[in-house]
Structure 1
Amino acid sequence: MGIRTPRRTAVLQGVAETAVSAQTDRVVRVGVDGVDGAGKTVFGDELAERVEALGRPAVRASVDDFHNPRHVRHHRGRASPEGFFLDSYDYDSLREALLDPLSPGGDGRYRTAVFDHESDQPVEETWARAPVDAVLIVDGIFLHRPELLGYWDHSAFLHVDFEVSIPRGAQRGYGDADPLAPSNRRYVEGQRLYFELCRPTEHASVVIDNNDLAEPRIIRGRPPVRA
């Protein structure tokens, strides 16, 4: 899965070791943040592989499975950056179905999805129970909003320039490859609003330059790059 290089392997291994060592007697909660096209999902999947190779079970989830219905997401206007930042996700459901159950004092019964934004319909996913020593890895945008900050035992912010992230998304079939295209204003300006109001790179445990997927680079925080 993904790109295998010595540098990428070292960065992922370091993040996994930090997460695994954070707590040994309860679920460790890890957030993987970054703009659309930053490589969060692949990074999260590869991180889960590393965590399991270190002997702890991983629970994978994405904030994209906790969208609000379309009429809520777009009620400020289909092109609204404010709407993108403020209305995209159902954080109450994210907390109730996933984060609270896997937090200290939670009962360990969780769901990783409640809504399918493509069909604009709720998802009837069954509840599962996490092992007590699991590592929860959640990828998604806006993970360092104030209402989520207290949940992460460890978090990574993948820094990628819009000139790189927007074309990446377009290659996957999402929108125009030009960051300045009018259709991208909602997303680019919505992310800039997030940066201004929430300062995710200041709150993340580690900030990783992921412009080059094969050669990620630690910008700030732990773990050190060992290759």
Structure 2
Amino acid sequence: MHFRPIAPVALAETLADDLAERRPSGYLSVAIDGPPPARPDRLAASLVDPLRARGRAALAVATSGFLRPASVRFERGRTDPDAFYESWFDLPALVREVLDPLPTGRVLPDLWDPVTDRATRSTYVELPPRGVLLLHGPLLLGAGLAVDYSVHLLMTPAALKRRTDAADRWTLPAYERYAAEVGPADWADVVVRSDDPDHPAISMIGAGRS
């Protein structure tokens, strides 16, 4: 896999160019997959204005807004990496409330507040025709989510460990398992090396796929 260095602003512009041409008459769903230190949230946010400038309204939705209740997440303890990998995120709700209704333009931006451990009661958001959904978070690929385009933010194990907060390092085995079992770099349309998110490098190996 060949990577070329690219500035964060140029990365957003490059991805926006590619995304703007896809499904020109319909809605587009994009998965931006990566652990928190790779900053998938920041990349998603950086795409909103460039896409709007290209005539495609965009909405960033975080998977952290679709967590399962604490009683499910912490059933095997608060620091179980297998539970984090298998059961923290409510993917059926994400499909039901975001991906399935996307063709109508009406999606729910979040469902569950992990702080209060209650439903957020957020209202639905209307995306105009040709809108782009930017779904961002960890462990997104290989989970059966039907998205039109995917970006994987790749980090080496050493960089991920170095940049992960000490309190969250219990999640590292989940990312090792994800890399071994899923191989997200093989699924993605675009892979971005993100050992240092301020100095990324891009490989658009699959970006020509329909």
For the pair 1:161 / 2:161, whether they are aligned, the reply is no
Residue identity over aligned pairs, in percent, reads 24
TM-score under structure 1 normalisation?
Answer: 0.82
Q: Is the 8 A contact 2:26 2:130 kept in 1?
A: yes
Offset at 1:210? Answer: 1.4
Matches within 5 A, 1:50-89: 50-89=50-89
Letter in 2 for 1:63: T
Question: How many residues are matched?
Answer: 204
- Distance of 1:19 and 1:115 partners within structure 2: 29
Q: After superposition, what is the alpha-carbon deviation per residue over 1:2-30, rounded to whole angstroms, capped at 9, x for unaligned? A: xxx97222222111111111111111111
Matches within 5 A, 1:20-35: 20-35=20-35
Correspondence for 2:121: 124
Give RMSD over aligned pairs: 2.1
SS state at 1:47 partner: helix
Correspondence for 1:107: 104
For the pair 1:135 / 2:128, whether they are aligned, the reply is no
Q: Is the 8 A contact 2:69 2:117 kept in 1?
A: yes
Q: After superposition, what is the alpha-carbon deviation per residue over 1:148-196, rounded to whole angstroms, capped at 9, x for unaligned? A: 1xx22111111123443445443xxxx44xxxxxx623x1001111222
SS state at 2:77 partner: coil
Change (3 A) 1:217 1:119: same
Letter in 1 for 2:64: D
SS state at 1:147 partner: coil
Q: Is the 8 A contact 1:15 1:223 kept in 2?
A: no
Q: Is the 8 A contact 2:35 2:138 kept in 1?
A: yes
Q: Is the 8 A contact 1:37 1:166 kept in 2?
A: no
Letter in 2 for 1:214: D
Gaps of at least 5 residues in structure 1 are 177-182
Offset at 1:36? Answer: 2.4
Offset at 1:71? Answer: 1.1
Greater displacement, 192-201 / 114-123:
192-201
2:169 is matched with which residue: 164, 184, 191?
Answer: 184
Change (3 A) 1:219 1:24: closer
Offset at 1:79? Answer: 2.4
